[in-house]
């Protein structure tokens, strides 16, 4: 609106004020973006101002448009970084919690199912104690890359903190099992380099627990609790495996929760 008023004013104002109003029109249009600035700059060619001013307006439009695009790109990058775990490249807890609320709302409205996979590295504290935190960070980075490779485009993966990860899988528990098994095998294939000639490359493994909404849970909190319970069972059974909550909780009990 400011750009249009300034552009109109450049026609109606006294000759001495026209250049300033034309410059204001281009500056205001830059807030719309490069296309807006360029449109007003081209339009200013018809405004009765000297050609030197018109040339300056075109240059100003190009510069202002480029700066605006750069600011928008920088703003998007800042938002992306605020929801990204820098060590693993996965989403962080805040992003995942919001994504889960959206997914559960979608399922409630349109039907279907969504599955939560909780994944935890086995004996990570011992790994850190033996090989140091720098090696632990390199391992977490490798795990993040493995999860990113193995997840589907529609899956949402996040690091919850420490050595715990979560993946939201559109679909039933069987879909979550496929994704979780792929990730478990990929993590088992990681072979971090030994820290000295006396060390052997350590064996890495992960355990996972799976629960689905609305088959197993009615709320996000219940979904987390049940997936975490299945994860604990995977650890109890010897680690390096995936357990579905349906394997340890009788179906009538689970169905009663959703009634």
Average pLDDT by consecutive 10-residue portion of the chain (259 residues)? 48 50 56 57 56 60 58 49 86 94 95 97 92 91 96 96 96 97 96 62 89 93 95 97 90 47
* Per-residue confidence (pLDDT) for residue 161, from 0 to 100: 84
225 catalytic per annotation: no
Give me the torsion for CA of 185, 188, 190, 195, rounded to 10°. Answer: 170
Q: Where are the domains of the chain?
A: 2-82, 93-258
CATH of 93-258, one of 3.30.70.270, 3.10.180.10, 2.130.10.10, 3.30.70.580: 3.30.70.270
Q: In this structure, what token pair is assigned to residue 231?
A: 């994860």
> Closest Cα to residue 147, out of 164, 130, 132?
164
- Contact status, residue 171 vs residue 118, Cβ threshold 8 Å: no
**pTM of whole model > 0.85?**
no
pLDDT of residue 235: 97
Q: Taking a C-beta distance cutoff of 8 angstroms, is the pair 200, 194 a contact? A: yes
pLDDT recorded at residue 109: 95
Are the CB atoms for 174 and 117 separated by under 8 Å?
A: no
Supply the pLDDT for residue 84: 94
pLDDT of residue 32: 56
pLDDT of 79: 44
Q: Answer positive or negative: Cα dihedral of 131, 134, 137, 141.
A: negative
Of the candidates 77, 103, 150, 163, the residue annotated as catalytic is 163
């Amino acid at each position: 609106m400011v750009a249009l008023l300034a552009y109109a004013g450049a026609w109606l104002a006294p000759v001495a004020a026209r250049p300033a109003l034309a410059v204001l029109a281009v500056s205001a249009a830059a807030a719309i973006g490069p296309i807006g600035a360029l449109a007003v700059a081209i339009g200013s060619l018809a405004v009765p101002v000297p050609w030197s001013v018109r040339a300056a307006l075109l240059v100003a439009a190009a510069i202002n448009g480029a700066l605006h695009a750069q600011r928008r790109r920088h703003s998007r990058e800042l938002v992306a970084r605020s929801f990204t775990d820098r060590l693993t490249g996965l989403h962080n807890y805040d992003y995942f919690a919001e994504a889960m609320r959206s997914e559960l709302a979608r399922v409630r409205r349109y039907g279907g199912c969504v599955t939560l996979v909780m994944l935890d590295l086995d004996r990570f504290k011992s790994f850190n104690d033996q090989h140091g935190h720098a090696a632990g960070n390199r391992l977490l980075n490798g795990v993040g890359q493995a999860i990113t490779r193995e997840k589907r485009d529609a899956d949402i993966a996040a690091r919850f903190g420490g050595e715990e990860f979560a993946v939201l899988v559109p679909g039933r528990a069987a879909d979550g099992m496929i994704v979780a098994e792929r990730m478990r095998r990929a993590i088992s294939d990681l072979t971090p380099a030994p820290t000295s000639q006396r060390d052997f490359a350590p064996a890495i493994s992960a355990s996972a627990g799976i629960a689905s909404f609305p088959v197993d849970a009615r709320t996000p909190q219940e979904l987390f609790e049940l997936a975490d319970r299945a994860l604990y069972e995977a650890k109890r059974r010897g680690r390096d495996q995936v357990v579905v909550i349906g394997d340890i909780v009788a179906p009538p009990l689970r169905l009663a929760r959703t009634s």
